[in-house]
Amino acid sequence: MKLNSVVRKDSVMKILKKITLVFIIFFIFNIYNVYAESLPTKFDLRDHIKIEVRNQQETNMCWAFTATSLLSTHLAYTENEYYTFSPRHMEYVMSTNSLIGKENKYAYEGKGLREGGNTDIIKQYFIQGTGPVLEKNMPFINNEDPINESDLPLDITYKQVAEAAHILPMYKEWSNGELVYKDYAQNVMSNDKVIEYRNDVKEAIKEYGGVYATIAYDPNGFNNGNGSFNTKGENDNWHTILLIGWDDTYSKNNFKENVRPTTDGAYIALNSWGNETGDNGFIYVSYEDYSLDLISKTYIKDVDDVDFDNVYSNEDLNIAKANNETLTELSIMVDAKITGNTRGSLKIDGEYVLKDFLINDCLENYEIRTPVKLNSNSKVELEINVDDKYKQYFHPYYYTVTDKSQFETSKLNNNIIDMNKSSKEIYLYTRHNTTDNGKTVKVEILKNGKDYTSKFNVSGNEIKNNQTSISITPRAVENGDYELKLTYGDKEISNTIRVINSTYIDVEGNTNSSKGDISLDGRISVTDVSQLKLAIVNLKELTEGQKERADMNSDGKISVVDLSILKGVLVNLITL
């Protein structure tokens, strides 16, 4: 009886093991299928939308061509809306010396014609209200000379970018004939981390459309016959392209022999050199290209419509106040370029204050001087009556006075910073009715009333042209919700930042707070575990300072006991 019972139990256990094994295989297979479905071996936006190839000719405007195509592909792919935007308009609006006899007040500080551009310039253009405009409103010509102000349309903006995102750089170095990859913090990346970085790029393309990228162009690395491109070193001939897909099976043999990569795989990219170059205007950039990942990649996540019925000017109404909410002077910035006399009317909370007043020649700065009582949420309505032939450039404007009329932020849809992702950053814009260029918006990051600002990298909070772009990247913080508080003057606004998948453990205030930080980067991470493993087997020489941090139990020795303690700290099992 006992023997039969054991045999039965043994048989049942074997059956259960087989069932378990089948279940595990089925589970893994399904997980793989879901992942494979979300990120296929090959993906090409051209299979989903029509993409226009354009030609920058002899100009230095690849950045503007790529940026306008970035917005076009995003709208076509996510909204099924097709527009061709004007690169020339972007170039002229953002250059300080683009106007004859006058400095362009909308320009990016210090940028001149023919000097190229970058993502900061592009984002400023997309959010400040001066663009983009359609190609037909300012057609491309091979000309980068200053123009008359009347030839620069400013009041026919079609879209406004509400949120853009970055994929931070990944660096590459040659060592003993092999590429070594490093992350944004200059830590060596494993093969899995490199794949994860590329997956971030692929996911951005698949979800949002094109991704703005930069390469260091070298004619020796370009095969014009099939469009393949690869470099094995950096140079100063930077050129922007739009990543619109990828092909993991793209053969390394397609590349020139002198720059042939070691593995298959390439991004599919839209170029701006016309249909006659590459593969009908498209190129294939090897995953191994030395320069491709050295600069942040940018993609658009959210776009707002511009309400033409409620917009006529790029400037807010400049309301001068006295005695709390009494309007003493109203200054109207009229930017529409029309000639001849026209008339307007002004209402406050639905009541006419001025009716049918004359504006002579649409002066750029027209002032209405009349005292008006104004509540905190009063609606100021200004309507300009223009001849029919000018109406495409000029629209009624409505302005509501609120407590935050001087300081606002764009909506922050994606407030999660995933420390497991290659892109560990959030980006937002503030907008002001101020001309205090060069001054800064104060940024504070708090958690449970404690100031964590110093543990985040905060950049770009200087006011430029009535706006501020702010980039926020954590350096050494735990998981959790943090309050992002922005202050300018007496105005204050706040958002929430959520940090997830952080391996950092805050041991601040403990006398042994440096224990475990072997890499000396201000945090405890898997890098420290790796370095301790190498030190134990004598494959890494530690400095005296590193040895002190590696000696987790303070017994004067470096051993597997210290390794166990460090692993426990890393997974929050042990508190120092």
The pLDDT, as a whole number, for residue 271 is 97
Question: Helix, strand, coil % (nearest 5) of the chain?
Answer: 25, 30, 45
Q: What percent of the chain has pLDDT over 90?
A: 31
Residue 267 has, within 13 A of its CA and on its CB side, a CA count of 29
Per-residue pLDDT reduced to its tens digit, 528-554? 888 888 888 787 888 888 888 888 877
Tokens standing for residue 390: 């000018």
**What residues contact residue 186 under an 8 Å CB cut-off, 6+ apart?**
171
pLDDT at 339: 43
Q: pLDDT tens digits, residue range 556-567?
A: 888 888 887 887
Q: CA 29, 35, 41, 42 torsion: positive or negative?
A: positive
pLDDT by residue (tens digit) across 378-414? 666 666 665 554 444 443 444 444 333 456 655 565 6
Give the DSSP H/E element, type plus range, for residue 63: helix 62-79
Mean pLDDT of 441-466: 86
The hierarchical CATH code for the domain 47-303 is 3.90.70.10
pLDDT at 520: 78
Question: Cα separation of 23 and 347, whole Å?
Answer: 71
Bigger pLDDT: 182 or 16?
182
Distance (Å) of CA 67 to CA 89, 123, 136, 465, 488: 12, 9, 17, 20, 30
pLDDT (0 to 100) of residue 69: 97
Q: What is the pLDDT of residue 515?
A: 82
Smallest Cα–Cα separation from 297: which of 406, 231, 203, 186?
A: 203
pLDDT tens column, 223-248: 999 999 999 988 888 999 999 999 99
- Give the pLDDT confidence score for residue 231 in this predicted structure: 95
- What 3 state SS string does 99-127 have? ECCECCCCCCCCCCCCCCCCHHHHHHHHH
pLDDT of 5 reads 39
Cα→Cα distances 286→108, 174, 207, 215, 231, Å? 33, 16, 22, 11, 9
**Nearest alpha-carbon partner for 453 in 421, 482, 481:** 482
pLDDT band at 51 (very low <50, low <70, confident <90, very high): very high
Q: What is the pTM of this model?
A: 0.56
Q: What is the pLDDT of residue 88?
A: 95
Per the CB < 8 A criterion, the answer to whether 170 and 181 are in contact is yes
Q: What is the CATH number of domain 407-500?
A: 2.60.40.10
- The segment with the largest mean pLDDT, out of 23-27, 41-45, 501-505, is 41-45
Tell me the CATH number for domain 317-400: 2.60.40
Range among 143-147, 258-262, 356-360, 459-463 rated most confident = 258-262
pLDDT in tens, 477-529: 888 899 999 888 777 788 888 888 876 655 443 334 578 888 877 778 778 88
**In the beta sheet, which residues pair with residue 451?**
446
The candidate with the shortest Cα–Cα distance to 150, out of 382, 361, 387, is 361
| pLDDT confidence of residue 542 | 86
Distance CA 91, CA 86 (A): 9
Give 408 or 35, the one with higher predicted confidence: 408
What is the phi/psi pair of residue 10, to 5°? Answer: -60, -40
Task: Select the highest-mean-pLDDT range: 276-280, 366-370, 375-379.
Answer: 276-280
Smallest Cα–Cα separation from 524: which of 570, 575, 469?
570
Question: Is the pLDDT assigned to residue 121 strictly greater than 80?
Answer: yes
pLDDT confidence bin for 433, thresholds 50/70/90:
low
pLDDT at 36 over 70: no
> Cα 327–333–334 angle (5° rounding)?
135
Distance in angstroms (rounded) separating the CA atoms of residues 367 and 349 = 20
- The band of 14, judged by pLDDT with boundaries at 50, 70 and 90, is low
The predicted pLDDT at position 359 comes to 58
Structure confidence at residue 260 as a pLDDT band (50, 70, 90): very high
pLDDT tens-place string over residues 53-66: 999 999 999 999 99
* pLDDT above 50 for 318: no
Bridge-based pairing state of the strands 326-333 and 365-368: antiparallel
Running DSSP on this structure, what letter comes out for residue 169? -
- pLDDT reported for residue 410: 57
Q: What angle do CA 428, 85, 302 make, to 5 degrees?
A: 30
Q: Which helix (H) or strand (E) holds 298?
A: strand 297-305
Bond preceding residue 153 cis, omega within 30 of 0: no
What's residue 255's pLDDT? 96
Q: How far apart are CA 103 and CA 116, in angstroms?
A: 18
Helix (H, G, I), strand (E, B) or coil at 59: coil
Asked if domains 47-303 and 317-400 share a fold, the reply is no
Checking if the pLDDT of 269 tops 70, the result is yes
Q: Pinpoint the alpha helices (H) of 328-450.
A: none
pLDDT in the model for residue 35: 42
Q: What is the pLDDT of residues 59-113, one digit of tens each?
A: 999 999 999 999 999 999 999 988 999 999 999 999 999 999 888 888 888 888 9
Other CB atoms within 10 A of residue 126 CB: 26
Tell me the three-class secondary structure of 487-552, residue by residue. EECCEEEEEEEEEECCCCCCCCCCCCCCCCCCCCCCCCCHHHHHHHHHHHCCCCCCCHHHHHHHCC
- Spatial contact of 474 and 456, defined as CB atoms under 8 Å apart: yes
Average pLDDT of the chain to the nearest whole number:
77
Q: Where are the domains of the chain?
A: 47-303, 317-400, 407-500, 526-570
**Does residue 343 contact residue 385 with C-beta atoms inside 8 Å?**
yes
Name the residue with higher pLDDT: 356 or 256. Answer: 256
Read off the pLDDT of residues 211-228 as tens digits, 9 standing for 90 and up. 999 999 999 999 999 999
Instruction: Render 402-435 in DSSP notation, one character per residue.
Output: -TTTTEEE------EEETTSS---EEEEEEES--
Mean pLDDT calculated for residue range 279-307: 89
Confidence at residue 569, expressed as pLDDT on a 0 to 100 scale: 76
Question: Residue 201 in contact with residue 211, Cβ under 8 Å?
Answer: yes
By DSSP bridging, strand 171-175 and strand 222-223 are: unpaired
Q: What is the pLDDT of residue 223?
A: 94
